[in-house]
Amino acid sequence: MVKSMNGKRVRMVLVVLLLVAAGVIVFYPRTGNVIIIRTTGATFPQYQMQTWISEYQKTHPGVKIEYNGGGSGYGQETFLEGLTDIGRTDPPVKKSTWDAFLKTGDKPLQFPEIVGAVVVSYNLPGIKTLNLSRDALAGIFMGTVAYWDNKAIQSTNPGVSLPHKKIVVIHRSDASGTTDIFTTYLSIINATWAEKVGAGKTVSWPVDSMGRGIGAKGNPGVVAALQQTEYSICYTELSFAMEENLTVVALENRDGRYVLPSTASIKAAVSAVAANIPQPGEGYKENLTQLLDGKGNTTYPIVAFTHILIWENINDRHYTAEDARAIKAFLKWVLTDGQKDNNLAPGYVGLPESVAKIGLSAVDSIHS
């Protein structure tokens, strides 16, 4: 996808070579008449992306779509450096990063692509159901609830024989949108967490200093660590829990009900709010908290959008007109046919129509 080798392109190539040498990322050149679309970033939508790619390429054999995960932070970085065609990030980009995008001389666009949920999974031999109150959840990840038979856990699980074993907390080690969503939720429900730890793509986990924390890269790494560690707990994306048949926690929601994550409970969270999505050219203004801790008896409390990043003037990114048309066509499919139930991976919910229209308007504004 190269028209010329100006200074900016030379810098980009050097960065690619360094990343390849480090074993971080591998891009393949176009072969024959096949158009390659590269998308990089959040692992939150990984299984959804795999489904979309499989379905889209069935009817578009002249297009090859490559998806490289690495986390939301990685997606934002590669988007800024021009190393990906479509960036992916779970939390909306912060203004400081948005300003860095603008300094490239191009205009970034950000809009939601799908709805998913963050779940809490655990590895407790013989225990298939578990309720956690808001205080117990925050206490576990803060480290103040240290044993599985702590009264904060036992009180909401009458009749369950919880072991007197230390809780091992598994968390993301990379810059993660899933972490940002989860820690933002903890900050909403627990003032101590908000004051002492806070929210972000990375945080200082109190359990690490206590010797009971394990960091792992990406949602796949977190899931693998959980499966290998008895008496552990983690947060991950619902689709990963479903794919790996993990046991998940029923979390106390805002109305005091214990709710498991499901298509129905995610839809309840989406319908409980009027999604307030800014114009794609001002994506940094979106509020991550809008789908978190929603009202309603059946509402699952940790629900969020995951987002697409794309440049408005994609011809300025050294694409051919054919490349630009292919990118726009794929994004339009994602926001229309891709939102239909038969094209959704387990654990995801399609966008409200009003939100999908915002993305479609953004795609229409892309220069090709």
SS (H, E, C) 240-279: HHHHCCCEECEEECCCCCEECCCHHHHHHHHHCCCCCCCC
What is the C-alpha to C-alpha distance for residues 188 and 304, in angstroms, rounded to an integer? 14
Give, in degrees to the nearest 5, the angle at Cα 301 between 295 and 303: 110
Just give the CATH number of 117-271.
3.40.190.10
The order of strands in the sheet holding 250-252 is 131-132, 250-252, 258-259
The pLDDT value given to residue 33: 79
Q: What does DSSP assign to residue 85? A: S
What is the C-alpha to C-alpha distance for residues 51 and 337, in angstroms, rounded to an integer? 12
The pLDDT value given to residue 153: 98
What is the C-alpha to C-alpha distance for residues 166 and 211, in angstroms, rounded to an integer? 11
Strand partners, 120: 235
H helix or E strand, kind and range, residue 98: helix 95-102
The pLDDT value given to residue 320: 76
The pLDDT value given to residue 14: 46
- Residue 72 near residue 201 (C-beta atoms within 8 A): yes
Quote the pTM value: 0.86
- Residue 42 near residue 71 (C-beta atoms within 8 A): yes
The pLDDT value given to residue 98: 96
What is the C-alpha to C-alpha distance for residues 287 and 292, in angstroms, rounded to an integer? 10
The pLDDT value given to residue 322: 86
The pLDDT value given to residue 32: 56
Just give the CATH number of 7-114+279-285+305-365.
3.40.190.10
Q: What does DSSP assign to residue 24? A: S
Domain with CATH 3.40.190.10 in the chain: 7-114+279-285+305-365, 117-271
The pLDDT value given to residue 323: 85
What is the C-alpha to C-alpha distance for residues 288 and 179, in angstroms, rounded to an integer? 12
Q: Kindly calculate the radius of gyration of the chain based on its CA atoms and give it in whole angstroms.
A: 21
Strand partners, 41: 88
pLDDT tens-digit map of 202-213 = 999 999 999 999
Selection from 74, 71, 85, 93 nearest residue 27 by Cα: 85
Which residues of the chain register pLDDT less than 70? 1-32, 274-275, 315-318, 368
